[in-house]
């Protein structure tokens, strides 16, 4: 099977955007980040969109954005943590789950990074959300990578998989 794009999924702070950037350097594909595209198009931060327009509106932007991105090919697309829960992703995407435990995620996210994420203001609520979502991430994924170690440590596992499968 030849896929159009690689789509990275996983909870907030698991490292999707960083993995996307590193992968794109290695395999010379364009790296796109759904949250960044939305922020640019809306000329507004994710926090402001949540605050002014609400979560439901943000979810509709995510669906439109992933639809538009997956119309093109040969990209590595990083998604927001909720995107695979609320949106459908083109079947012609290779979905990779960046699988990190909640305590690892907590360590990875600085206060500043947490503050950018409206669903991470409350740690207990974020953990409950994490527990609700993990099964869906696993079900959707074509490949799961153990992301509990640093990105340079696990990125070669993703790279080997992608290169061996010759997916793009
Ligand atoms: C969200 C994750 C965020 C961002 C928004 C909502 C979520 O992206 O899309 O704050 O519902 O998990 P990251 O996964 O890049 O933090």
CA of 97 to the centre of ligand 1 (A): 15
Alpha-carbon separation of residue 102 from 19, 83, 98 (angstroms) = 18, 18, 12
- Distance between CA atoms of residues 31 and 23, nearest Å: 8
Q: How far is the CA of 80 from the centre of ligand 1 (A)?
A: 4
- Residue recorded with tokens 């061996």: 164
Helix 151-165 to helix 16-27 angle (10° resolution) is: 50
* Ligand 1 atom nearest to 78, measured from its CA: 15
Nearest to 77 by CA among 4, 6, 18: 6
Mean pLDDT, 10 residues at a time, over the chain (168 residues)? 93 96 93 98 97 98 98 97 98 96 95 92 96 98 96 92 78
Alpha-carbon distances of 119 from 11, 54, 130, rounded to whole Å? 11, 12, 11
**What per-residue confidence (pLDDT) applies to 148?**
97
Helix 55-69 with 46-53: angle, nearest 10 deg = 130
Quick one: pLDDT at residue 98? 98
Ligand 1 centroid, distance to 117 Cα (angstroms): 6
Q: What is the distance between the alpha carbons of residues 18 and 30, in angstroms, rounded to a whole number?
A: 13
Nearest atom within ligand 1 for CA of residue 120: 10
* Ligand 1 pocket member 84 (CB < 6 A): no
Q: Is the CB of 35 under 6 A from ligand 1?
A: yes
pLDDT at 165: 74
46 lines ligand 1 (CB under 6 A): yes
Alpha-carbon span 154 to 150, nearest angstrom? 7
Nearest alpha carbon to residue 11 among 111, 152, 144, 112: 144
164 CA to centre of ligand 1 in angstroms: 30
Q: Which two tokens stand for residue 145?
A: 């990578």
């Amino acid at each position: 099977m030849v896929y159009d794009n690689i789509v990275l999924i996983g909870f907030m702070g698991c490292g999707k955007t960083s993995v996307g950037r590193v992968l794109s350097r290695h395999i010379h594909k364009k790296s796109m980040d759904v949250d960044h595209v939305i922020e640019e198009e809306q000329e507004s931060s994710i926090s402001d969109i949540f605050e002014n327009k609400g979560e439901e509106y943000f979810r509709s932007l995510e669906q439109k954005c992933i639809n538009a991105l997956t119309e093109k090919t040969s990209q590595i697309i990083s998604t927001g943590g909720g995107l695979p829960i609320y949106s459908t992703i083109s079947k012609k995407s290779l979905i990779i789950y960046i699988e990190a435990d909640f305590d690892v995620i907590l360590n990875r996210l600085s206060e500043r990074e947490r503050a950018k994420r409206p669903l991470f203001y409350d740690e207990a609520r974020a953990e409950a959300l994490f527990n609700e979502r993990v099964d869906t991430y696993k079900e959707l994924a074509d490949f799961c990578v153990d992301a509990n170690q640093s990105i340079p440590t696990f990125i070669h596992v993703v790279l080997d998989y992608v290169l061996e499968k010759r997916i793009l």
